Amino acid sequence: MAQTDPIALILAPGGRDARVASAILAEVGITSRIKDSLADLVADLDTAACAVITEEALLRSDRRSIADWSERQPPWSDFPFILLNHRGASPDERLTDLLGNVTLLERPFHPAVLANAVRSALRARRRQWEVAAHLEERQKTHERQALLIRELHHRVKNTLATVQGLLGATARSTSDVETFYHSFSNRIVSLGKTHTLLTEDYWQTAPLHELLENELNPYNDPERQRICLDGPVIELAADLAVPAGMAFHELTTNAAKHGALSRPEGRITVAWSVTAGESGRRLTLDWMESGGPSVAPPQRKGFGSTLLQRVLAQQCNATVAIDYAEAGLRFRMDAPLPEERLVPSY
């Protein structure tokens, strides 16, 4: 993880090398931390940007800890070390092989030489951190795309099944081709509107308020306030949004033909709330019509009734109640709300 203030570790237990090196780096604005032992240095390597180590400090220490740390570096990491050795002496190959990414610096060193060597090491480490962040973002993107593809396959399969069900149910509830065409087309349009909301959120959730507006806004009259939507902002998961959107379409269509929307003075109020319990959150929604013609239970069960009473219960584990009260139809739905998204937000 990149540091806002990269730190150089210094291990030079003998003489004045540690204090001199720290003072030189401080003068050029580089933060350093002196370590008393190799084990102490290794403990901070994960958060440091480079390390300055004297040759004798390594030769006198148990080097297994730093060897193990080097082996555990992630693929993007090649930690930079600066090894201080005596002028004219040949570097110990065991130490250069152990450290890997090592810059040799002879002592006594010029302050500018040390500062430049550490600056180069810090730039290299920053670049490695940038690569690590890029790789992490690519991995997250890949995981999101894999989840999106899985969700897309699931949604397409469910959509095709829904369309097939709409086709069969509409055919059974209509007696002529023209009526079938208009009923089926309107239901497909409604389904398409719901899917438009879902695709805006990677096929996952759709706002309940917008699902209702898609169906009821064409019948609204601001002056008469025929439509009243009252409830908190809530997102419906796709598996609830699709059948709920279809249910709102059937309720709206029925209200326009036989209920409150068939008369200018008719009104529809939709109120909903969310409660939390031991089994999770639940949505309770009430659809209430008033001002329309007298209501009576239907003589036969059409597609709308089947959708409201059976589909919502089976697909969404919802509890549904329909009251054909004379003053206006009442519909209530109580359904569980999933707590987690399948695909994380960007």
Q: Which residues of 211-250 are buried (b: 16+ CB within 10 A; e: fewer)?
A: bbbbbbeebeeeeeebbebebeebbbbbbbbbbbbbbbbb
**CA–CA separation, 96 vs 83, rounded Å?**
8
Q: Return the CA Rg of the chain.
A: 35
Span(s) in the chain for CATH 3.40.50.2300: 7-135
Q: What is the CATH number of domain 174-337?
A: 3.30.565.10
Query: In this structure, are residues 331 and 318 in contact, taking their beta carbons and an 8 Å threshold?
Result: no
Q: What distance in Å separates the CA atoms of residue 206 and residue 196, rounded to the nearest whole number? A: 9
What pTM does this model have? Answer: 0.51
Task: Characterize the bridge pairing of strands 205-207 and 81-86.
Answer: unpaired
Alpha helices in 174-264 (DSSP H): 177-199, 208-216, 238-257
Q: What is the pLDDT of residue 10?
A: 94
SS percent in the chain: helix, strand, coil, step 5: 50, 20, 30
> Is 268 in a helix, a strand, or coil?
strand
Contact assessment for residue 52 and residue 17, using Cβ atoms and an 8 Å cutoff: no
Q: Does an H or E element contain 21, and which?
A: helix 17-27
Q: What is the pLDDT along the chain (346 residues), one digit of tens a residue?
A: 444 578 999 999 878 889 999 999 999 999 999 999 999 999 999 999 999 999 989 988 999 999 999 999 999 999 999 999 887 777 788 888 898 899 999 888 899 999 999 999 999 999 999 999 998 888 888 877 776 677 666 666 666 666 666 576 567 667 788 877 777 777 777 667 666 666 555 556 888 998 899 888 888 877 778 899 999 999 888 778 888 888 888 888 888 888 898 888 899 999 999 998 888 899 999 999 999 898 888 776 555 566 677 777 877 888 888 898 889 999 999 999 876 554 444 4
Q: Within the chain, which residue ranges are assigned CATH 3.30.565.10?
A: 174-337
* Predicted local confidence at residue 285, as pLDDT: 96
Query: What number does CATH give the domain 7-135?
Result: 3.40.50.2300
Nearest Cα to 234, choosing from 271, 289, 269, 203? 271
* Structure token digits, residue 196: 């438009």
Q: Give pLDDT, residue 273.
A: 96
**Helix, strand, or coil here: 58?**
helix
